[in-house]
Amino acid sequence: MKKTNVAENRTDKLEPCLAIIGAGFSGIGMAIRLKQSGYRNFTIFERSDNVGGTWRDNTYPGCACDVASHLYSFSFEKKSDWTKVFSDASEIYQYLLSCVEKYQLENHIKLNTTVSDMRFDSSANQWAISTVSNETFHADMIINGTGPLNKPNIPNIPGIENFTGKIFHSSQWDHEHQLDGRNVACIGTGASAIQFIPEIVNKVRSLKVFQRTPTWLVPRLNRNYSSLTKWVFKNVPGVRNFYRLFIYWRNEYYGIAIIGYPFFNNLLQKASKLYLRTKVKDPELRKKLTPNYQIGCKRINISDDYYESLQRPNSDLITEPIISITSTGVTSADGETHECDTIIFGTGFVTTKYLQPMKIYGSKGKELTEQWAGSAESYLGISVAGFPNYFLLLGPNTGLGHNSVVFMIEAQIEYVIKALSYLKEAKKSFIDVKLERQETFCDSTQNKLEKFSWGSGCDSWYLSENGKNYSIWPGFTPSYWWKTRKFDVASYHVS
């Protein structure tokens, strides 16, 4: 077993040795800001053979971001030449690669290194990081940026093992498996499925879309930026920043409706129904596509072509529940077996096992997932009591349904930088959030969430097994920025 410090070329003995877990948006952003702030002693552990996280993994046809790219990018690394308002996954992935190159992060990244467990050693005031290949590293601080949406959820439908055709999940798209002329079943109608269904419908012979719950949908109105617009973004001072701010505040404004203020919520619901009515003339199909829960309770989806794709002659929307899979098809509750040779699961991700299979043992030896046991309690989604010198990026209750999560990630990154600066100035090396502060924060978060759309009674991946919501930030994002703008030393045990 190799035992080494994360930093091999330690130049400043006062500088903490930092380990970042995951080289997605969070990990890369953290590394850039550490470098910009003068830290050199950090390593990113990445289990895959490249950086990029969700934007590396999701390559399904039509994969794109629902947040406009000028906002879904770092404020400290803006890009003028985004090709579209809502860029494709490949362009976002290239953006992340270019960040790694520009800020020369390559030497800080350990690819193909899967962390199996991390243990805080109170006597040494250090974390021991073990990998699946039996290496051990040591670090003073951990910054965990592994993200919640990376474990494909493939439902255990009876008979699935008997299917003789091809099965894959949207985040593990099999590009070798040509879909032309195939009979395809798509299970799920969430954010990913509504993007790939319009892309494949014209290729396949038949497409059976299995919908469990209809989604609220609004138009995307995507378009390419002209060369002139890109030139203006690049060369006219202030325009790009102004545009970014405009997108941000426009999303916050939509947030009034999504979060659930009744008048605006009703208005948005009516607008979405109107869109459905204009796009789908068949009342039978429209009825199947009309949600029966409050808009905003589950994630709202945006698409310009999903409804059209369901009305192609070769596509069929099936709303009968699935009861089993046979060797040649999917059987629904009405007894019909829908013959197919390919099943694509657009069934989302396992979010309740957020950090697993990684094990994280805090100062009293308690494992984090066990401590959470369905209640992922944290302070600001960044710190967890009993887990000293450990920060989460995009941790519990910091996801969004209305604006860019990169905004939240950046707020967290700045909080970590401020915490590190505080420790350096105060010549301290141990912080652990106070349990009572964490409890107060969680109680107030859950109280707010219950009052808004997310607590209005639908079932969604935002909810944990105990029915509580540990996914979403309960409100507008300036309030998160406000709470994280300073490192809140009074909320921590420091020594």
Cβ 196 to ligand NAP, closest distance in Å? Answer: 9
| 260 versus 348: smaller Cβ distance to ligand NAP | 348
Collapsed DSSP state (helix, strand, coil) of residue 450 = helix
- Residue 405: which residues within 8 A CB-CB, separation 6 or more? 25, 67, 394, 398, 399
CB-wise, 198 or 348, nearer to ligand NAP?
A: 348
Residue 136 beta carbon to ligand NAP: minimum distance, rounded to whole angstroms? 34
Determine the 3-state secondary structure of 344 from DSSP: strand
Among residues 64, 15, 67, 24, the alpha carbon closest in space to that of 45 is found at 24
Q: Give the shortest CB-347-to-ligand NAP separation in angstroms.
A: 4
Residue 224 or 421 with smaller CB distance to ligand NAP: 224
- How far the first Cα of the chain sits from its last, in Å, is 31
- Least distance between ligand NAP and beta carbon 491 (Å): 29
Residue 274, number of CB atoms within 10 A of its CB: 10
Nearest distance in Å: CB 171, ligand NAP: 7
Residue 65 or residue 139: which is nearer to ligand NAP going by CB? 65
Residue 421 Cβ, how far from ligand NAP at the closest point, in Å? 32
**Using CB under 6 A as the criterion, which residues of the chain lie in contact with ligand NAP when the complex forms?**
64-66, 149, 155, 170, 187-193, 195, 212-213, 299, 322, 346-349, 461
Quote the distance between the C-alpha of residue 23 and its chain's center: 13
Q: What is the DSSP letter of 140?
A: S
C-alpha distances in angstroms, 15 versus 9, 18, 27, 110, 335? 12, 9, 19, 20, 66
d(CA 121, CA 124): 6
Instruction: Report the residue number, 44 or 394, with the smaller CB distance to ligand NAP.
Output: 394
| β-bridge mates for residue 332, sequence order | 322
Comparing CB distances to ligand NAP, the nearer of 213 and 229 is 213
Q: Looking at beta carbons only, is 188 or 296 nearer to ligand NAP?
A: 188
Min dist CB 296 to ligand NAP, Å, is: 13
Tally DSSP H helices, then E strands, for the chain: 13, 22
- Shortest approach of ligand NAP to residue 289 CB, angstroms? 12
d(CA 270, CA 477): 25
**Nearest C-alpha neighbor of 339 from the set 308, 313, 318:** 318
Measured from the CB of residue 186, what is the shortest distance to ligand NAP in angstroms? Answer: 10
In three-state secondary structure terms, 78 is coil
Q: Taking CB positions, which residue lies at the least distance from ligand NAP? A: 190
Q: Around Cβ 335, how many Cβ atoms within 10 Å?
A: 8
Beta bridge partner(s), residue 169: 345
Q: Among residues 63 and 118, whose Cβ is nearest to ligand NAP?
A: 63
User: Which of 149, 217, 216, 160 has its CA nearest to residue 185?
Assistant: 160
Q: Cβ closer to ligand NAP: 60 or 441?
A: 60
